[in-house]
């Protein structure tokens, strides 16, 4: 049975993605950093579906913790077929000049370095097997940039550059690397937005609404599936048609 590692899987897009893979017959490795209760709740939900899941705590910005997580996952499941680099953080909206060095470092440590740590740790297993799928989660702001979201936008643009370059590097080993760039999605990360703010954003979306985590999860699964066997190095936007 194939196995998928989902980082930041305890909530939001990560949780929806973990459930999608579980419902599709995968064993799921649930990575989380702080919220053990939510991670365990997800494990139990997946178990109730008749699928297998295990939780793995790791701060993905710490390379040693990631290496241990991947080694533990390999021991429990025996294989790693899919990596979804979903874990990410954002800062409150504000002018770039209002943020300090620690703010920049915290965002890049998770959104970029953490993604690289996880990818590096699983790649050697995938290369050995001559197969594997990596799906990275970027953002609409990584493709078009967002005013008062400069640091986050820069980190998510780095995810896109990483995806395109790594796809070329790993293609000879039978490994595909793709990226999903969601627009505004109804998740905890955006729970600070008021109803009016969400409505205002939706006015700039062709479909006239914000997205659901499940809609992003469907796209992630597609890119990791055989249905996308001739797709690599691509960025697929799930944003409702930003106007």
Catalytic residues: 152
Q: How far apart are CA 17 and CA 52, in angstroms?
A: 15
For residue 127, what are the contacts with CB-CB under 8 A and spacing of at least 6? 170, 173, 175
Residue 4 sits at the vertex; the CA angle it makes with 36 and 108, to the nearest 5 degrees, is 65
Task: Round to whole Å and give the CA distance between 30 and 53.
Answer: 7
Cβ neighbors of 14 (< 8 A, separation 6 or more) are 6, 7, 8, 84, 86, 87
Kindly report the number of other CB atoms within 10 A of residue 152's CB atom. Answer: 21
Distances (CA, A) of 105 to 7, 111, 160, 161: 19, 10, 19, 19
Could you give the angle at the alpha carbon of 86 between the alpha carbons of 243 and 171, nearest 5°? 90
Name the nearest CA neighbour of 96 among 142, 146, 161, 159: 146
Phi, psi values for residue 211, rounded to 5°: -90, 175
């Amino acid at each position: 049975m194939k196995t998928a590692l989902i980082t930041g899987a305890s909530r939001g897009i990560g949780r929806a993605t973990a459930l999608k893979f579980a419902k599709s017959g995968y064993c799921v490795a649930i990575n989380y950093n702080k919220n053990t209760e939510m991670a365990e709740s997800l494990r139990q939900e997946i178990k109730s579906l008749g699928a297998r899941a295990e939780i793995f705590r790791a701060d993905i910005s710490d390379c040693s913790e990631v290496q241990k997580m991947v080694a533990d996952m390999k021991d429990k499941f025996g294989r790693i077929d899919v990596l979804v680099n979903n874990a990410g953080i954002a800062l409150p909206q504000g002018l770039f000049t209002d943020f300090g060095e620690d703010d920049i470092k915290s965002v890049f440590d998770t959104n970029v370095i953490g993604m690289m740590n996880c990818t590096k740790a699983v790649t050697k297993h995938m290369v050995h097997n001559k197969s594997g799928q990596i799906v990275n989660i970027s953002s609409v702001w990584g493709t078009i940039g967002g005013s008062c979201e400069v640091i986050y936008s820069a980190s998510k643009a780095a995810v896109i550059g990483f995806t395109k370059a790594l796809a070329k590097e790993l293609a000879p080993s039978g490994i595909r690397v793709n990226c999903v760039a969601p627009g505004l999605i109804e998740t905890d990360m955006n729970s600070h937005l008021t109803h009016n703010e969400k409505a205002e954003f939706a006015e700039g979306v062709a479909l006239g609404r914000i997205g659901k985590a499940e809609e992003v999860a469907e796209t992630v699964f597609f890119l990791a599936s055989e249905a996308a066997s001739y797709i690599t190095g691509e960025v697929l936007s799930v944003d409702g048609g930003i106007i």
